[in-house]
Structure 1
Amino acid sequence: MTRTAAPIGPILFLDHVEDEQAHLAALFILPKGSQPPVLTTTSGAVSGHPLAEYDATTVFRARFTVTFGQTTYHWNGQDYTLNLDLENDQRLAYVACNGEETGDLDREGSERNVMWARLCAEHRDRPFALLLHGGDQVYADEVTDGHPLTDHWPRDIQTEPENLDDLNRHLRERLLQRYAALYASPDFAWLAARVPSVMQWDDHDICDGWGSLPPRATQSAVGRTIFSAAREAFLIFQAAATDGDLPARFADPQGRHLGWAVEMPGYRIVAPDLRSERSRTQIMGPLGWDFMQSQPSQSSTDRYFLMSSVPLLGPRLSLLETLMMTFPRMQKYEDDLRDQWQSHAHRDEWQRVLRLMIGISRAGQNVVVLSGEIHLATRAVMPLEGNALLHQLVASGIAHRPPPRLWARFLGALATLGDAPIAGKPIRIDRIPGQAGRYVAERNYLTLDRQGDKWSANWQLEESGRSPDLML
């Protein structure tokens, strides 16, 4: 049984933006039988309503609206200031990979969350308007432990499982435990109460390699139960929503895919769903592609931020994929490489999305891709039309410890080979300002700063500190 010893929240989410107003949702995780105090703004009081029930816990949500600018809301005897002057100069933060595959809940808090503490300090000095989460907000790999149907998932898959309802209950409670632990950590909780979040999911929010695992695993009754429980948890804990009640930024009200877009004054943030329709042979299905192809005609802004949880621009990983398949002992890493846009299996889709970015640039928008997933910091560029560049900024992970520096150097060497999936538009892996190597093996996060009509970015690196500004 999962128990929540003390109230958790408010955790703020941006539902959508319309008519110079930000529509927000506040999430609360409380012991069953409790009721959250009312939330008050200049427009009045808002009560929390039950969103989901667990064995010993109830999750509540309170939706409210604030006008652009610096404003304050009040909850449980405390004032919380929001910096939502979205029409003028502002700062955004981008984070990814908030955890690790094994033993994450047992890590010592100050070590695990050192980069969250830095992000809090930055907010106190120069406030952020929004917090963008680029995938793997939670590492759900261990939630399958402790149940006979999933103890050895995905190696051992029961073809005629019994009592899937019991498995679903087990998974729901374990997912609650992980989200509650993360959202109760002091630095995250302090920031999330003052900066609204928008989140895009990736494989670890479901299980390691979801969609790149063999179909016999993902399409089995157990696999679909795992996906269903993780999807419900994503909606509740990463969007303060449930089926049939999605925020307006989500493209499909029925939730058949979970892509979303937010039109802000002067820029647009687009986050396709790279998991719901994923298989070993596709990254997005018809619904996801329809959503992506609708974006250029919908936007009237001059800056387009694409959140791609898996990096869109990268080195020639298909060479490494071929090498690994040659050696049986290395084939256990195939799923990790199959997960990438650069995989042999996804090259047509990779070219398709790159052509889409070229088309968006032709429409007069500056395109920037924000990515995580690889537990390293890096950046890349690809030429567009005229003198324009497609910039990709990779920040990962905020809590996941980095791989060995040798791996970063190997990827940097692989990047020297180059790749040009679109003829005449070679991809180049560039160095972060101030760094000697193309990949930086340090925990990190990214900040984006708009001054007037100019945008810049920099990385906060655990050991190297803040990078010099990169003009976009």
Structure 2
Amino acid sequence: MSSRTRTPAPDAGPGTGPAPGPVTGPILILDDLRGGRMHLSALFIAERGTALPPLLLESGSVTPEPLADYESHTVLRARFSLPAETASAYRWNGTLFEVTGGFSGGLRIAYASCNGEEHGDLERDGAERNAMWARMGAAHRAAPFSLLLHGGDQVYADEATCGHPLSEDWPDRIPRVPTREDLADLRRHLRERFLQRYLAVYSAPEFAWIAARVPSLMQWDDHDICDGWGSLRRARTYSPVGQTLFAAAREAALLFQHGCRDGDLPPRFADPEGRHLGWRIEAAGLRLLAPDLRSERSRRRVMARGGWRMMKAEAERRFAGRTLLLSSVPLLGPRLSLLELLMVLMPRMQKYEDDLRDQWQSRAHRASWRRMLRMLRDMAAQDGQQVTAISGEIHLAARGEMALGGGKTLHQLVASGITHRAPPRAWAKVLGLLSWLGDAPLAGHPIRIRRIPGQAGRYAAERNYLVLERRGGEWSASWDLESSGRSEPLPL
């Protein structure tokens, strides 16, 4: 078949065509951009023993192959490529899936984060939960996206530890010396619970529709493992139960977020061994840079040697165009260290300590924060390069700026809460008041929290996602807010 079909087959949305048994997918994942091609993985989750039909391409066909087995399901993957610069398509199971391409010219990118909630997420009403995914799908029909970026917390796995005696009370109480047999049983339990989470999220029709047509790139955050991973006490994270939990979460992230497993990571990853999961993608005038802020994290560090080595190499790399840095937690924000100090004095508030220690602005990470900001300042000092940070994590929409010198500005764009319900507006006001104090971790480079166009406050307490757009070489950003609607474009 030709990918430049003049009369595309009717597409009535998700579920069109005869299904070969219960199958979730295809979920498109961008492995790499090179040689003018998008190298892609199409991910499927099917009941064990299900034979999947091949993907039909202009160049032939490719059959999904097993990637991992679970008790009742198999994860399968088909790797293939499509043109990076022009529109194309693939067909699977009787449905034509059109893919935009367009990486060399005008470009639209969607960014979302926090796809779930800590408690009861799988029991929520689907239409309510996925309303913003439906909005994104409508926006794609009107003006197609070339890429979908996921900024962390693709699933909320906090309840995955429930139901097993070793992890039922995680992280408050854990057994001191569990047996190998019990740990093996815990691993089986956790693998199945992670599968259930990803299966529920990926099979939602509103998400599945756009994920089959727009290639995704993902970066994980704490809830993809457990709430506060890396900011919990070392006795928890380095315990046998903690390490079993991390291993199960990492395997699931490789499978479901990156369409791979150990030993066959795509070339965009900085470390082929996967000791950290930082990656980069480069297109004409665009570099996407996603350091891993979880694999090496501890209470006293955000990244270890591998992550910093990756960032140093990218800071020194010559590049002309726009660098989008995916920082799962916001790089620019208010002085949260003041809240940390208050929590030390107020025992009832200390349960939120891990949430604040997760942030770059934490007192524990201030040296690392300065180091990252210096790298971005030096990166942006190169002729012809601009740097923008995009983040999620805080369940609010916001933006910040830091003057870099030479007429350049580091923009911080925060879009958080694609399905996570917004926190109380009072919390947005508290953060807004803190932002009046300002901060300058780098001397001479003050940070300012600015309003999103059309918003009265500095933080918007609404579910949202971000749209980044390049037209004629100029970039802009706008937020789609659940109640306020689409903001006016912000020039970058």
- Corresponding residue of 1:409: 429
CA distance in 2, matches of 1:49, 1:298: 37
Is contact 2:21–2:50 with CA below 8 Å preserved after alignment? no
- Corresponding residue of 1:458: 478
Give the secondary-structure state (helix, strand or coil) at the position aligned to 2:161: coil
CA distance in 2, matches of 1:244, 1:357: 31
- Tell me which amino acid in the other structure corresponds to 1:7: V
Equivalent residues in 2 for 1:66-145, closer than 5 Å: 66-68=82-84, 69-145=86-162
- Corresponding residue of 1:246: 265
- Tell me which amino acid in the other structure corresponds to 1:110: A
Q: Pick from 1, 14, 21: which aligns with 2:37?
A: 21
- Tell me which amino acid in the other structure corresponds to 1:29: I
- Tell me which amino acid in the other structure corresponds to 2:389: V
CA distance in 2, matches of 1:401, 1:44: 44
- Corresponding residue of 1:8: 24
Deviation at 1:20, TM superposition (A): 0.8
CA distance in 2, matches of 1:326, 1:297: 43
Give the secondary-structure state (helix, strand or coil) at the position aligned to 1:84: coil
CA distance in 2, matches of 1:9, 1:206: 23
TM-score (norm 2): 0.94
CA distance in 2, matches of 1:417, 1:445: 27
Give the aligned CA root-mean-square deviation in angstroms.
0.9
1:277 counterpart = 2:296:
yes
Deviation at 1:161, TM superposition (A): 1.1
CA distance in 2, matches of 1:244, 1:143: 26
1:438 counterpart = 2:454:
no
- Corresponding residue of 2:386: 366
- Corresponding residue of 2:10: none
- Tell me which amino acid in the other structure corresponds to 1:225: T
Gaps of 5+ in 1: none
- Tell me which amino acid in the other structure corresponds to 1:393: L
Deviations 1:106-144 (A, max 9, x none): 000000000000000000000000000000000000000
- Corresponding residue of 2:281: 262
Deviations 1:28-56 (A, max 9, x none): 00000012110111111111111000001
- Tell me which amino acid in the other structure corresponds to 1:168: R
Deviation at 1:5, TM superposition (A): 7.1
Give the secondary-structure state (helix, strand or coil) at the position aligned to 2:483: coil
Is contact 2:401–2:410 with CA below 8 Å preserved after alignment? yes
Deviations 1:298-334 (A, max 9, x none): 3523110000000000000001101111111111111
1:392 counterpart = 2:408:
no
Deviation at 1:297, TM superposition (A): 3.1
CA distance in 1, matches of 2:70, 2:343: 43
Give the secondary-structure state (helix, strand or coil) at the position aligned to 2:272: coil
Give the secondary-structure state (helix, strand or coil) at the position aligned to 1:136: coil
- Tell me which amino acid in the other structure corresponds to 2:41: A
CA distance in 1, matches of 2:30, 2:316: 23
Is contact 1:269–1:305 with CA below 8 Å preserved after alignment? yes
- Tell me which amino acid in the other structure corresponds to 1:213: L
CA distance in 2, matches of 1:74, 1:36: 13
CA distance in 1, matches of 2:316, 2:300: 28
Give the secondary-structure state (helix, strand or coil) at the position aligned to 2:388: strand
Moved over 4 A (4+): none
CA distance in 2, matches of 1:184, 1:360: 40
- Tell me which amino acid in the other structure corresponds to 2:23: P
1:468 counterpart = 2:488:
yes
CA distance in 2, matches of 1:345, 1:127: 42
Give the secondary-structure state (helix, strand or coil) at the position aligned to 1:384: strand
1:340 counterpart = 2:359:
yes
Identity %: 60
Give the secondary-structure state (helix, strand or coil) at the position aligned to 2:297: coil
CA distance in 2, matches of 1:111, 1:327: 36
CA distance in 1, matches of 2:26, 2:51: 13
- Corresponding residue of 1:237: 256
Deviations 1:230-254 (A, max 9, x none): 0000000000000010011111000
